[in-house]
Amino acid sequence: MAASNAAIFLALICLLLPAYSSSAHPNNLSSHIRHLQGLKKGDKTEGIQSLKKYLHQYGYLHDNHLNTQQVEDRYHFDETTEKAAKTYQLNFNLKPTGVLDHETISMMMKPRCGVPDIINGATKMNGAGKYYNLAYALNKEEAPRVWPASRRALTWAVKPGTRKDVIDPLAKESIEPWSVASGKNFTFKYIGEENYNASDIKISFMKIDGNGKVLAWGAPPTEGMMAFDEDDTWEPGHVPGIGKVGLHEMGHVLGLPHSSDPYSIMFPNQGKTNTIGKSDVTELKKLYGF
């Protein structure tokens, strides 16, 4: 069952990340979005299709709206797209005008986590219950996913062949801080790449979308997966480092969603902190009842 669920989650990530379609490569999306500044509801231009793909990628638009058969509709900045844009702006602490202003375009251009902001109709970000129309959610809202009480002493490993210099920062900067944040209710043990298949949390590098956009993603409980884009730079001293990015993804592995708080490590892109924030600890305790 766990293997089946893992396969389903990976398939969902592949579906949502345009990296797996050469015509919708996120770098191409960014290039198109860069030139959409100033557009608003009622406008029609070919580039709006890239905006819709971006908003769909992160959970703001449903497949049914994205895949309309009418070509002219794909290029139309309609009311549904405006709603999605307003929700995105709310989630990222921007003025919710629905207009693609400089601040909105700049935020969309930043490297970020590949996990959608809205999953199964649910979000803990600012847009919850405001402009977002649940009819355009991916699915019906589900209960939060958590690790059961019997699985709080978790093992982890990197995929065989992974470069050795990432293991120490992953352990010290990405994983162990969550044990501290949980009041040691969670513990984590590295068991070596030779035990990768038997580990609770499997960490790997894979091709996602090329350098500079989606940095990594983490699967919710109890899938136990974290993947970094092998085309991004993970050398020591590079910003953002693998420690910070891994710290964010480990939050997803424990069940935390994205946050609108820029001082939360669960902010979707490079926020204002490299550490677990107070709101993250609060959310973790609320999720598990610590």
Domains parsed from the chain with CATH numbers: 2-136 (no CATH), 153-288 (3.40.390.10)
Give the H/E segment covering residue 70.
Answer: none
**105-117 pLDDT per residue, tens:** 999 999 999 999 9
Determine what percent of the chain is predicted with pLDDT higher than 90: 67
Reading the block at residue 271, the tokens are 């926020």
- Contact between 100 and 38 (Cβ < 8 Å): yes
241 annotated as ligand-binding: no
Phi-psi label, residue 92: left if phi above 0, alpha if psi -120 to 50, beta otherwise: alpha
252 annotated as ligand-binding: yes
250 annotated as ligand-binding: no
| Options 82, 223, 249, 283, the catalytic residue | 249
| 190 phi, psi to nearest 5 deg | -80, 130
Q: Where are the alpha helices (DSSP H) in the chain?
A: 2-16, 26-33, 48-57, 63-66, 71-74, 79-91, 102-109, 167-169, 176-181, 242-253, 278-288
Maximum average pLDDT range among 24-33, 150-159, 234-243: 150-159
113 annotated as ligand-binding: yes
Which strands make up the sheet holding 201-206, listed edge to edge?
Answer: 112-113, 214-218, 225-229, 201-206, 153-158, 187-190
Of 100-109, 138-147, 274-283, which range is least confident?
138-147
- Contact between 246 and 216 (Cβ < 8 Å): yes
Model pTM?
Answer: 0.86
Question: CB within 8 A of 187, min separation 6: which ones?
Answer: 152, 153, 154, 179
14 annotated as ligand-binding: no
**71-103 pLDDT per residue, tens:** 778 899 999 999 999 999 999 999 999 999 999
Q: Where are the alpha helices (DSSP H) in 147-277?
A: 167-169, 176-181, 242-253
Known catalytic membership, residue 249: yes
Is residue 104 pLDDT above 90, yes or no? yes
**31-78 pLDDT per residue, tens:** 678 889 999 999 999 889 999 999 999 999 887 777 765 777 889 999
The Cα–Cα gap between 102 and 97 comes to: 12
**8-31 pLDDT per residue, tens:** 455 555 444 443 333 334 445 666
Reading the block at residue 103, the tokens are 């601040």
